[in-house]
A and B are shown apart, each in its own frame.
Chain A
Amino acid sequence: MHTVTDTDLAQRAARGDPEAFGALVERWAPAVRRVARAALGDPDEADDAAQDAFLSAWTNVGSYDPTRPFGPWILRIAANRALDRGRKRKVRAAESLSDERGESIAGTVAGPDRETERSMLRERLDVALAQLPPRQRVAVTMFDAEGYSHGEIAEVLGVPEGTVRSDVFHARRALRGALAMYRGGE
């Protein structure tokens, strides 16, 4: 548990304290990077988006409302940055890449040792995630991996709560299907 709260650090950062902001980066980088990666897929591009998000947060930390939790605030910036990048990049390369990966997995699904199994599981999850729309990836990651509520995710993504519920439902169904298929092949 942190002794200094996010709100304290954010308020110090708003007064121009780079060390306080650095402490926030230290705390929130893992979640921000996961959400960016969920949105974009590519780890390097995700890190660029995550860095953009943090620098934008540094510039705008004065607009952060200290009566509200810091997590959704920074994740909203990160999700928007990452989804914007994804929109600009468009689906062009993503779809062809996911097709190639799908073919490669289909050919190598029955591996002998545990490491191979883990690696195949990762690849299958990769393919399943790549086939989901970016917003669904972010929604399911924030719900199941980061532990945010539907309402909080709706605020982060700027969509109605019902849309988030639907996104999480569809994403879960696809991901569980992919993982179940893998288990069936064990």
Chain B
Amino acid sequence: MIGNAFDHERDAELGARLREHLEAPGHAAFVARVRAGVARDLAESPFEVLSSWLRPGLAAAAIIAVAAGWWLTTGVTQQVAASTTPVEVFASSGGSELMLATSVEER
């Protein structure tokens, strides 16, 4: 029975009318729509994970490539410098005979 608006009890009649009024048809179709949405979400998820890794992955690869390039370049330059500089210094100062004499003495 529709009663006092102050009631703390459930109004069964008003409730039934509201339920009937708000009831939406096509329950099966709605459930199928949601299930399809969930299936789509599951199908898309792995690609989303991959695409979320793509950008940081590319950034990391670029940093590694730059670091490797820098290391190779500076490493080779230092090796070349270390092996050629004394010879060049001695040669330009006419000390090649001295160097030869020193190495002979060491033996």
Residues of chain A touching chain B, judged by Cβ–Cβ distance below 8 Å, are: 16, 18, 21-22, 25-26, 29-30, 33-34, 37-38, 43, 46-47, 50-51, 54-55, 58-59, 121-122, 125-126, 129, 140-141, 143-145, 147, 150, 169, 172-173, 175-176, 179-180
Number of chain B residues close to chain A: CB under 8 A: 29
6 tightest A-B CB contacts, nearest first? A144-B15, A145-B18, A34-B22, A173-B5, A172-B5, A33-B24
A180 to B8, CA, bound (A): 20
Contact among A16, A25, A34, A176 with B5 in the assembled complex (CB-CB below 8 Å): A176
Task: Determine whether B11 belongs to the interface, using a CB cutoff of 8 Å to chain A.
Answer: yes
Residues of chain B touching chain A, judged by Cβ–Cβ distance below 8 Å, are: 2, 5-8, 10-12, 14-19, 21-24, 27, 30-31, 33-35, 37-39, 41-42
Distance to closest chain A CB from B11 (angstroms): 5
Contact B21 A126 (CB under 8 A): yes
Contact among B2, B31, B33, B41 with A180 in the assembled complex (CB-CB below 8 Å): B2
A175 to B5, CA, bound (A): 10
Contact among A29, A34, A145 with B34 in the assembled complex (CB-CB below 8 Å): A29
Sample of 9 A–B contacts (CB below 8 Å): A16-B42, A30-B24, A46-B24, A51-B30, A125-B17, A129-B21, A140-B14, A144-B15, A145-B16
